[in-house]
Amino acid sequence: MVQSVLVLMFAAYLRTNEKPSLWVMSILLFVTSLFFNALQPMAHALLNDVVDGAELGAAFGLFNLVGEIGAVVSPALSGTLFDHYGSWTHAVYIDGALMLAGAGLYVLIRENTSRA
């Protein structure tokens, strides 16, 4: 959630400043990446906790497949948005919205307490 808010702040900063400061953008990206890097081990631990041991390999493979789809789609989508609008702002807003949606999905995960 915090990462989503920071990304949306970055997008708002880009939108409101015609010539954004490299220092401000660097600080926003650095702090945002701290939260992203903290999310990775938490997501892996959560996946390990909610998936049966026999299905763990397939679950991590699917997790990585879904996670890397963004790395494939993002350059083409962001480049198209930049060509159309002349700014990265729209791509950054989409990124923040996707992160908020992902945070909402994490909230829906419930641990099965009857599991031994």
Cα separation, 51 vs 116, whole angstroms: 12
Q: What is the pLDDT of residues 52-99, one digit of tens each?
A: 889 999 999 998 888 788 888 888 988 999 999 888 888 888 888 888
Sign of the C-alpha dihedral computed for residues 51, 66, 33 and 98 taken in this order:
negative
Q: Is the entire prediction scored with pTM above 0.85?
A: no
Backbone torsions φ then ψ of 16, nearest 5 degrees: -90, -10
Fill in the DSSP letter of residue 1. Answer: -
Could you write out the DSSP letters of every residue in 25-76?
Answer: HHHHHHHHHHHHHHHHHHHHHHHHHHS-GGGHHHHHHHHHHHHHHHHHHHHH
- Asked whether residue 45 carries a pLDDT value surpassing 70, the answer given is yes
